[in-house]
């Protein structure tokens, strides 16, 4: 197969360089001289031909040629023409060729005017063509940036998506409609126009959308919500119109809009009221979804991790009326996801994916894919032929706690403080019935500010927590500060994160979960965003009085102070065991669950 020639901008620069060289070669060396010097050069026979114009005299050194006019002169002497009646006689006296014709020949005119013009026109045409291909040309600004992906190019079906069984069941109905629409239209059923995939980042919303297109075998339009928004007014709405025109022409098909929240944010929240470009684009999207013909076969899939900020008009029946939760995978689903990503990896026979899944509660599908890749990279770095369980352990520590800081050396006092701090966490977790089991203790600095960590391994996925479990979770968080206070009779800044998390739990118990007698069964705080795992920020409304706020603060402090007393009592009773484990931890710098259990078993 012949290689297709592609024009490059570098060819234009090469042509320009050649043109400049030719011009320099063809152009004579110009010397501006006085009239007296000009006549002396004629007398010395340096000038063999002279062109007489109305204002100038141009003298040439003629090269060896048969042409009357010197095409390639060696030098050019130029002087202003003055009124000298004897000039012609003077030139004839010394045998100089006198040329009265215009010296600008067709070739020189071509080289000096036409070629440069063609050159710059070529550059302009080339740049406009490239801008048009990139979607930035003026004629393509209103065109949709959606990528049309054929079913054969996707290579994704439901077998490629591990877990999310409930979401796949919901989407199977869409696939069946796209394959056999007459089955639904026979009884007058209408397929939902819009389906919104809602879930935390990395849970596989985009992958599910591709799987739907792969299973149904129809064209798949993929675009991000931010691709509609431009600085030019009206472009977003034009792109929405163009996208739906293409979709109607390709029906049946699937239109997938990723990150819908960047386009569908509630109107009236912008700085320019209801007239900014984003809101015009949203209005056009709403109008286009209303204009769809019933059962034509165009299904709109969208994904977002911030459904709470979407405009209510988007979520009403007739638009995105079906919402499918794509949540974080549970234990069974994590095992399946790990199996999918480990297919092409050479695993040691001792690697148990279920143990790894138990150690990764809250991990999304993207997190698990990253975990497998990190473990494989560690094995390659160590020169191993297979990925062993130790690489997975290191990869989990790296993802959860951060990169190990081998160059961050703690002095003996700090190292001892961290050892007792982490041992305090672990011991309190051991002597609390509902606390998660200790899996690993380390005093090796990791990440940005972590000087050590205690990792606990949940026995199962939990969706509800009792008041006792929350209180004992606070106990474990306060164990580090209590251990410092008992052993050193001093406290450090190392418990800052522990105290913050303990305070958040206590405040939620008092003001959100109704677990306080004085404040009663009332919720004073709104539920935090479950997908982003953070509150509503500075703009969260305060829905209680200052007196209630003061009471909340007092009750939160009472909970923390009461639990701190209980934790100190526990560690005081287990002081010998605290000392023993801390000394071993100082020597080894890390203890796994088996080593910790052995030490606790000896001391109890």
Encode pLDDT of 568-588 as tens digits.
999 999 999 999 999 999 888
137 labelled ligand-binding: no
For residues 243 and 254, give the distance between their C-alpha atoms in angstroms, rounded to a whole number.
11
The model carries a pTM of 0.65
What is the pLDDT, as a whole number, of residue 46?
81
The neighbour count for residue 262, using CB atoms within 10 Å, is: 17
Bridge partner list, 325:
198
Which residue stretches of 489-574 are H helix? 496-511, 546-573
User: Measuring CA to CA, which residue among 213, 223, 207, 206 is closest to residue 174?
Assistant: 213
202 labelled ligand-binding: yes
User: Measuring CA to CA, which residue among 79, 74, 88 is closest to residue 46?
Assistant: 74
Bridge partner list, 256:
222, 301
206 labelled ligand-binding: yes
DSSP string for 365-396: HHHHHHHHHHHHHHHHHTT-SSB-HHHHHHHH
258 labelled ligand-binding: no
pLDDT tens per residue, range 283-328: 888 888 776 555 567 888 888 888 888 888 888 887 887 888 888 8
201 labelled ligand-binding: yes
Sheet holding 437-442, edge to edge: 453-457, 437-442, 590-592
- Gap between the terminal Cα atoms of the chain: 79
For residues 305 and 65, give the distance between their C-alpha atoms in angstroms, rounded to a whole number.
82
What is the pLDDT, as a whole number, of residue 49?
82
- Angle, CA 210 vertex, CA 208 and CA 213 arms, to 5°: 115
For residues 344 and 51, give the distance between their C-alpha atoms in angstroms, rounded to a whole number.
83
What is the pLDDT, as a whole number, of residue 377?
92
421 labelled ligand-binding: yes
| 247-256 burial: b if 16+ Cβ within 10 Å, else e | bbebbbbbbb
Domains of the chain are 33-103 (3.30.720.210), 147-325 (3.40.50.300), 331-401 (1.10.8.60), 412-603 (1.20.58.760)
Helix (H) or strand (E) holding 52: strand 49-52
225 labelled ligand-binding: no
Four-CA torsion 462, 464, 470, 476, nearest 10 degrees: 0
For residues 65 and 62, give the distance between their C-alpha atoms in angstroms, rounded to a whole number.
8
Contact residues for 416 (Cβ-Cβ < 8 A; gap 6+): 582, 586
What is the pLDDT, as a whole number, of residue 112?
62
Bridge partner list, 441:
454, 591
341 labelled ligand-binding: no
In this structure, are strands 253-258 and 97-99 parallel, antiparallel, or unpaired?
A: unpaired
Low-confidence spans in the chain with pLDDT less than 70: 1-13, 16, 19-29, 62-75, 101-115, 127-155, 229-234, 268-277, 291-296, 402-409, 447-450, 459-461, 527-542, 602-604
For residues 380 and 373, give the distance between their C-alpha atoms in angstroms, rounded to a whole number.
11
What is the pLDDT, as a whole number, of residue 29?
64
Contact 435, 456 (CB under 8 A): yes
What is the pLDDT, as a whole number, of residue 25?
61
Known catalytic residues are 422
Q: What's the count of helices (H) and strands (E) in the chain, helices before strands?
A: 22, 14
Distances in Å between the Cα of 445 and the Cα atoms of 397, 415, 422, 453, 497 are 11, 10, 12, 9, 15
What is the pLDDT, as a whole number, of residue 486?
93
Instruction: Supply 37's token pair.
Output: 């010097």
User: Measuring CA to CA, which residue among 14, 16, 5, 10 is closest to residue 118?
Assistant: 16
User: Measuring CA to CA, which residue among 420, 418, 432, 417 is closest to residue 476?
Assistant: 432
Q: Any idea which residue has 């639904």 for tokens?
A: 184
204 labelled ligand-binding: yes
Contact 577, 600 (CB under 8 A): yes
In this structure, are strands 298-304 and 253-258 parallel, antiparallel, or unpaired?
A: parallel
In this structure, are strands 194-198 and 298-304 parallel, antiparallel, or unpaired?
A: parallel
Q: Any idea which residue has 């397929």 for tokens?
A: 191
Contact 601, 574 (CB under 8 A): no
Instruction: Supply 134's token pair.
Output: 């990139």
Instruction: Supply 117's token pair.
Output: 């013009």
Collapse the DSSP code of 273 into the 3-class scheme (helix H, G, I; strand E, B; otherwise coil) and give the result.
coil
For residues 236 and 224, give the distance between their C-alpha atoms in angstroms, rounded to a whole number.
12
Instruction: Supply 112's token pair.
Output: 């000096």
| 407-442 burial: b if 16+ Cβ within 10 Å, else e | eeebeeeebbbbbbbbbbbbbbbbbbeebbebbbbb
203 labelled ligand-binding: yes
For residues 502 and 284, give the distance between their C-alpha atoms in angstroms, rounded to a whole number.
47
For residues 215 and 151, give the distance between their C-alpha atoms in angstroms, rounded to a whole number.
8
């Amino acid at each position: 197969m012949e290689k297709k020639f592609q024009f490059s901008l570098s060819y234009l620069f090469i042509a320009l360089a050649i043109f400049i060289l030719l011009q320099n070669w063809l152009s004579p060396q110009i010397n501006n001289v006085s009239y007296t010097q000009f006549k002396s050069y004629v007398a010395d026979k340096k000038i063999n031909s002279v062109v007489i114009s109305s204002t100038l005299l141009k003298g040439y050194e003629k090269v060896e040629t048969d042409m009357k006019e010197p095409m390639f002169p060696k030098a050019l002497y130029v002087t202003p023409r003055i009124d000298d009646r004897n000039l012609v006689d003077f030139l004839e006296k010394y045998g100089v060729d006198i040329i009265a014709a215009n010296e600008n020949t067709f070739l020189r005119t071509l080289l000096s005017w036409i070629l440069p013009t063609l050159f710059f026109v070529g550059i302009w045409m080339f740049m406009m063509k490239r801008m048009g291909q990139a979607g930035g040309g003026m004629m393509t600004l209103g065109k949709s940036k959606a990528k049309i992906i054929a079913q054969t190019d996707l290579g994704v079906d439901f077998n490629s998506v591990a877990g999310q069984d409930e979401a796949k069941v919901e989407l199977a109905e869409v696939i069946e409609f796209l394959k056999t629409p007459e089955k639904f239209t026979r009884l007058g059923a209408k397929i939902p126009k819009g389906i919104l995939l809602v879930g935390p980042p990395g849970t596989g919303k985009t992958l599910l959308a591709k799987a739907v297109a792969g299973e149904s075998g129809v064209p798949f339009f993929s675009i991000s919500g931010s691709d509609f928004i431009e600085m030019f007014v009206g472009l977003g709405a034009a792109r929405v119109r163009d996208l739906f025109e293409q979709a109607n022409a390709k029906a049946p098909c699937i239109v997938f809009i990723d990150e819908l929240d960047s386009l569908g944010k509630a109107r009236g929240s912008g700085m320019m009221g209801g007239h900014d470009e984003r809101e015009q684009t949203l209005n056009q999207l709403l109008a286009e979804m209303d204009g769809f013909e019933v059962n034509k076969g165009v299904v709109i899939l969208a994904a977002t991790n911030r459904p709470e900020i979407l405009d209510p008009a988007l979520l009403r029946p007739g638009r995105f009326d079906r919402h499918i939760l794509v949540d974080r995978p549970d234990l069974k689903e994590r095992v399946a996801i790990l199996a999918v990503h480990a297919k092409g990896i050479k695993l040691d026979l001792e690697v148990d994916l279920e143990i790894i899944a138990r150690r990764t509660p809250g991990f999304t599908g993207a997190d698990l894919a990253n975990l497998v890749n990190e473990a494989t990279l560690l094995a390659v770095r160590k020169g191993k032929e297979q990925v062993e369980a130790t690489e997975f352990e290191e990869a989990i520590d790296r993802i959860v706690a951060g990169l190990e800081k081998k160059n961050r050396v703690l002095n003996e006092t700090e190292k001892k403080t961290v050892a007792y701090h982490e041992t305090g966490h672990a011991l309190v977790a051991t002597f609390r019935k509902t606390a998660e089991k200790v899996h690993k203790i380390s005093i090796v600095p990791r990440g940005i500010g972590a000087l050590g960590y205690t990792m606990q391994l949940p026995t199962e996925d939990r969706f509800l927590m009792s008041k006792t479990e929350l209180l004992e979770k606070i106990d474990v968080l306060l164990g580090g500060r209590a251990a410092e206070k008992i052993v050193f009779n001093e406290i450090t800044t190392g418990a800052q994160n522990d105290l913050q998390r303990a305070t958040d739990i206590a405040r939620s118990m008092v003001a959100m979960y109704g677990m306080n007698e004085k404040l009663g069964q009332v919720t004073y705080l709104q539920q935090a965003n479950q997908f982003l795992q953070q509150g509503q920020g500075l703009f969260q409304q305060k829905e209680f009085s200052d007196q209630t706020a003061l009471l909340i603060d007092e009750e939160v402090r009472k909970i923390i102070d009461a639990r701190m007393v209980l934790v100190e009592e526990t560690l005081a009773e287990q002081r010998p065991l605290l000392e023993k484990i801390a000394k071993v931890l100082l020597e080894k710098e890390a203890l796994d669950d088996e080593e910790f259990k052995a030490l606790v078993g000896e001391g109890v």
